[in-house]
Amino acid sequence: MTQTPLSENGIDQGYALSTTLVDPDVADMIAARENVLGRVDYTTAAADPILSARSPRLALHMAHGKADSFSELWTTPHDVTAGMHDGVAYAHDGEFLFVAGRIAESGHYATATEKAYLTALGLIRDLGYPNCYRMWNVVGAINEDNAEGLENYRDFCLGRADAFATMRFNETEIPAATGIGALGGGIGFYFLTSRSGSPIAIENPQQVSAYHYPQRYGPKAPKFARATRMGGRVYVSGTASITGHESRHEGDLVRQTHLSLENIARVIGASNLWEHGIGDGYFLANLDHIKVYVRHAEDIPVVRGICERAFSPAAEVRYLNVDVCRSDLLVEIEGIAY
């Protein structure tokens, strides 16, 4: 039997995940003919995760209408095995696992977040796909206070940190993530993990690692890496106008957008990747499947103008009008570098 060559991340080269951000009706057509590991609808109402056409599907309230609604599809060349476990939907293909869950709208999120994360992270390990490399979290009313006067984002971070501690994640195992506002629906989350891949967590020398943020940002620090290298790609976390641990250019949309892009370019650049033992380098023009989160709808044209000059014209880019995890941040950007 010939041994399929492994990529440098230890993944059998017969496995590769594809992703795309498409209009929902296009997603329906793709899902009808391809093996879908997971589908996430950025749409006008949140819903609990379900199994739809033998795949996990999660609806996030992230769009104001049909015009800004889209679906994110993760597809694989292999058959998938899907299921539900204690409210978490999942599917795996032998190398990659997608899990999705939702935490109901509430006046307190820490305990429910810890429970949901422990369910999902426990499932990931029980199914044998322990290498988590990308997380997405969308938080309704992210900048508003909970019933005790703690901002919902900080409440979420408290529960997440406790779950990571219980599961004994060390700093190098913390994956790239997004933590962004939603237009309602509690907290929706979805993760990508692998069976044999070796994710490499990447930090930005110009930023304090989020998990080292001082307590002024909340009782427990956010848990995410600036990016994660997996399967020959770099998954870039939601990135904003922050250097050190402080927000920069308060009230200045243009400079916040440029600093967010500068942070991404630095994280994926050859010199920073070299510092992380990765012999590759990328530019903003190598970014694809980009989400640009903009706090004020009227700012989207300005942000789009800056981004279009930075990104490849071939890149998939979606602009969302949602809140950002710090109230002084106007824009945040994520993507995948190939």
Ligand X SMILES: O=C(O)C1=C[C@@H](O)[C@H](O)C=C1
List of residues contacting ligand X (CB under 6 A): 137, 177-180, 222, 224, 237-238, 240, 325, 332
Up-side HSE of residue 249: CA atoms within 13 Å toward CB? Answer: 15
CB of 28 to ligand X, least distance (A): 28
Judging by DSSP bridges, how do beta strands 131-140 and 187-194 pair with one another?
antiparallel
177 near 136, Cβ under 8 Å?
A: yes
Q: What is the DSSP code (8-state) at residue 10?
A: S
97 binds, among ligand PYR, ligand X, none (CB under 5 to 8 A by kind): none
Give the residue nearest to ligand PYR (CB).
Answer: 240
182 binds, among ligand X, ligand PYR, none (CB under 5 to 8 A by kind): none
By CB under 6 A, the count of residues binding ligand PYR is 8
Cα distances (angstroms) measured from residue 76 to each of 31, 80, 147: 11, 8, 43
Among the listed residues 15, 12, 11, the one whose alpha carbon sits nearest the alpha carbon of residue 2:
12
CB of 240 to ligand PYR, least distance (A): 4
Residues 6+ away with beta carbon under 8 Å from 270? 280, 281, 282
- Binding flags for ligand PYR, 275-314, as an x/- string (CB under 6 A): ----------------------------------------
- Residue 115 CA to residue 100 CA, distance in Å, equals 14
| 186's tokens | 């509690």
178 binds, among ligand PYR, ligand X, none (CB under 5 to 8 A by kind): ligand X
Of 31 and 138, the one with the shorter C-beta distance to ligand X is 138
User: Helices (H) and strands (E) in the chain — how many of each?
Assistant: 6, 19
- Residue 14 CA to residue 95 CA, distance in Å, equals 9
- Asked about 8 being catalytic, the answer comes back as no
Of 76 and 152, the one with the shorter C-beta distance to ligand X is 152
240-269: contacts with ligand PYR (CB under 6 A) = 240, 242
- Catalytic annotation, pick one of 114, 203, 262, 332: 332
Interaction between residue 332 and ligand PYR (CB under 6 A):
yes
- Residue 314 CA to residue 233 CA, distance in Å, equals 17
Of 11 and 292, the one with the shorter C-beta distance to ligand PYR is 292
- Active-site residues, by number, are 332
> Footprint of ligand PYR on this chain (CB under 6 A)?
210, 222, 238, 240, 242, 325-326, 332
